[in-house]
Amino acid sequence: MSPMAFVQKYTLDEFRKQRKSIVENNITLTHWSTELFQTRSKLNLPKISMKKFDAYQRALILGTDCDDS
């Protein structure tokens, strides 16, 4: 994960909400962690609950140390 200061196209809250939605909806992105570009169209994959991830994994997804589940 890149430093959150590198996020430029979104507010921090928008970026976190979008990343959470991307993870929950099984969407694949490019390898740039500060840009949210899908690499494929959405398939009919099952949704994933953020509760499946521990606090450390959620922090990596959301870019924060707080427990936002």
Separation CA 2–CA 52 (nearest Å): 23
Domain spans, the chain: 4-62
29 DSSP β-pair partners? 38
The tens digit of pLDDT for each residue in 5-63 reads 777 788 888 888 888 988 898 887 776 767 777 766 667 788 899 999 999 998 888 87
Helix or strand holding residue 62 (H, E): helix 55-62
Question: What's this model's pTM, rounded to 2 decimal places?
Answer: 0.68
Number of residues written out for the chain: 69
Q: State residue 53's pLDDT score.
A: 93
